[in-house]
Chain A
Amino acid sequence: EAGVTQFPSHSVIEKGQTVTLRCDPISGHDNLYWYRRVMGKEIKFLLHFVKESKQDESGMPNNRFLAERTGGTYSTLKVQPAELEDSGVYFCASSSLYEQFFGPGTRLTVL
Chain B
Amino acid sequence: AQTVTQSQPEMSVQEAETVTLSCTYDTSENNYYLFWYKQPPSRQMILVIRQEAYKQQNATENRFSVNFQKAAKSFSLKISDSQLGDTAMYFCAFFIGGTSYGKLTFGQGTILTVHP
Contact = CB atoms under 8 A, between A and B. Distances in A.
A22 interface: no
A98 B33 contact: yes
Interface string A54-69: 0110010000000000
- Which 10 pairs, one residue from A and one from B, show the smallest C-beta to C-beta distance? A45-B103, A43-B106, A102-B45, A42-B108, A104-B44, A42-B106, A31-B101, A98-B101, A98-B33, A102-B44
Interface of B: 4, 33, 37, 43-47, 50, 91, 95, 97, 100-109
A110 interface: no
A100 interface: yes
Contacts of A95: 101
Interface residues of A, number: 27
**Interface residues of A, dominant DSSP:** strand
A90 interface: no
A56 B91 CA distance: 22
A98 B43 CA distance: 22
Contacts of B107: 42
A93 B37 CA distance: 13
